[in-house]
């Protein structure tokens, strides 16, 4: 079991460029999440998908879109990257009935110049 995988690990973008962060889990979990982590601010929820076919906004959704492609995959898209989106992005998943135990991927470190 690989758990939660994320690609890429690192990315540098110029302002205005677009990109998609990929996330996949092989634990048959129902719910998936995208967070960003900034120094001194903990983790902030961008979007989540409670189950396949549904997505909902979290605390900081502006500038992002998501797609729950199937039960395994949940992608995060930046349509027009801004320097304020420089951050470390984490994907997580949870199984049905246990939203407390979130399994995290290794993160994507994104820099927007």
Partner 1 sequence: GQQLNQSPQSMFIQEGEDVSMNCTSSSIFNTWLWYKQDPGEGPVLLIALYKAGELTSNGRLTAQFGITRKDSFLNISASIPSDVGIYFCAGHGRSNYQLIWGAGTKLIIKP
Instruction: For partner 1, give the closer residue by CB, 24 or 105.
Output: 105
Instruction: Give the shortest CB-16-to-partner 1 separation in angstroms.
Output: 29
Closer residue to partner 1 (CB): 14 or 62: 62
- Alpha-carbon span 47 to 11, nearest angstrom: 20
Q: Residue 62 CB: number of other CB atoms within 10 A?
A: 8
As measured in angstroms, the least distance from the Cβ of 69 to partner 1 is: 19
CA distance 102 to 91: 10
DSSP 8-state code for residue 102: P
Residues in the chain: 113
Shortest reach from residue 35's CB to partner 1, in Å: 8
Q: DSSP label at 84?
A: G
38/79 with CB nearer partner 1: 38
Q: Which residues bind partner 1 (CB under 8 A)?
A: 4, 31, 33, 40-45, 48, 50, 56, 58-59, 90, 92, 99-102, 104-107
């Amino acid at each position: 079991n690989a758990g939660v995988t994320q690609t890429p690990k690192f990315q540098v973008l110029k302002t205005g460029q677009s990109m998609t962060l990929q996330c996949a889990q092989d634990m048959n979990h129902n719910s998936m999440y995208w967070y960003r982590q900034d120094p001194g601010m903990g983790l902030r929820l961008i979007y989540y998908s409670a189950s396949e076919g549904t997505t909902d906004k979290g605390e900081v959704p502006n500038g992002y879109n998501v797609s729950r492609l199937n039960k395994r995959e949940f992608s995060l898209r930046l349509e027009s990257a801004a320097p304020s989106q420089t951050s470390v992005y984490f994907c997580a998943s949870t199984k049905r009935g246990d939203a407390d135990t979130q399994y995290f991927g290794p993160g994507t470190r994104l820099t927007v110049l």
